Amino acid sequence: MSPVARNRLIALGALLVAGAGLGFVAFGNIGENLVYYWSPSEMLGQGAKAYSATIRLGGVVEPGSIQWNAEHTTLQFRVADDVKEGSPSVLVRSTETPPQMFRDKIGVVVEGTYDKSGVFSSNRLMVNHSNEYRAPKEGEDPRQWQETLSDATTAMGAK
C-alpha cells in the first residue's frame, strides 16, 4: 500500500472513531449516569438512597421562602422543581452568605447532604444565571441603586 493510501485509510479510521465517540457521547445515556445535579422531585424519588451521601440539588428558589439571618449568617430557603406553585420542593439550610445574584425564583445548585428530617444541609451554594442579558429598565440603573443604598436600607429598617 502506498503511504498516501495508508494515510487516507488511517484518516478515515480516525474520523470513524471520532464520529462513533461523539455519537456515543451525544446519544448514549451518559447524561443519565453522570448527572450534575438532581431536581427536588428526583431527589425525593430516590427515597432513603439520597440520605447522607454528598449530592447536588438543583432547581429554583421558591418565591418567598428565603429566610436570612445576617447576624448568625444562617440561610434557609426552599429549592423547587420550577416556579409554579405547589411544585415539589426541598428545604435547604446553609451557613454561608449566598452570592449577590441569589433571589427568589433564580436557579440554584446546592452541594451537601440530605437527611431523614427532610432538610438539605448545603455547604456550597451556587447560583446559575440564564442566557439573558438586559439593560436595566427605566429608573433601574444599578449604579443609582448603589447611591440610594443607605436610603433603601433605612426604609427597610423602618418597615
Partner 1 sequence: MGKFIKWGLLALSLAVLATGWWLGLAWAPPDREMGDVQRIMYVHVPLQWAALVAMFINFVAAVSYMFKASWKLDATAESSAEVGLVLGTAGMITGAIWGRPTWGVYWSWDPRLTSQAIMLVAYTGYLVLRRFVEDPEKRATWSSVVAIIGAINLPIVWFSVRWWRSLHQVQSTPKTVDPEMTLALRVSAFGMLFITLWFLVARYRQALAERQAEVALPDALPSDLAAAGGANSSRVA
Partner 2 sequence: MMTLSTQLLGLLAAAAPGQVGSGRIVGGWGYVWACYAITVAMLVLYAVSLWVRRPKAPTDAKE
What residues line the site for partner 2 (CB under 8 A)? 66, 68, 70, 75, 97-98, 100-104, 106, 139-140, 142, 145-146, 148-149, 151-153, 155-156
Judged by CB under 8 A, which of 69, 104, 105, 140 binds partner 1?
Answer: 140
Residue 138 contacts partner 1 per CB under 8 A? no
Residues 28, 146: Cα–Cα separation, whole Å:
49
Half-sphere exposure of residue 10, counting CA atoms within 13 Å on the CB side? Answer: 7
- Contact indicator for 62, 41 with CB cutoff of 8 Å: no
Q: Are 90 and 115 in contact (CB under 8 A)?
A: no
Residue 67 dihedral angles phi and psi, to the nearest 5°: -125, 115
Q: Exposed, middle or buried by CB within 10 Å (0-12, 13-18, 19+), for 86?
A: exposed
Minimum CB separation from partner 1 for residue 90, in Å?
16
Interacting residues with partner 1 between 86 and 125 (CB under 8 A): 98-102, 109, 124-125
Alpha carbon 96 to chain centroid, angstroms = 16
> Which of 135, 138, 150, 156 is the binder for partner 1 (CB under 8 A)?
135
Q: Of residues 54, 115, 129, 155, which one binds partner 1 by CB under 8 A?
A: 129
- Sites of contact with partner 1 (CB under 8 A): 2-4, 7-8, 10-11, 14-15, 17-18, 21-22, 25-26, 30-31, 34-37, 58, 98-102, 109, 124-137, 140-143
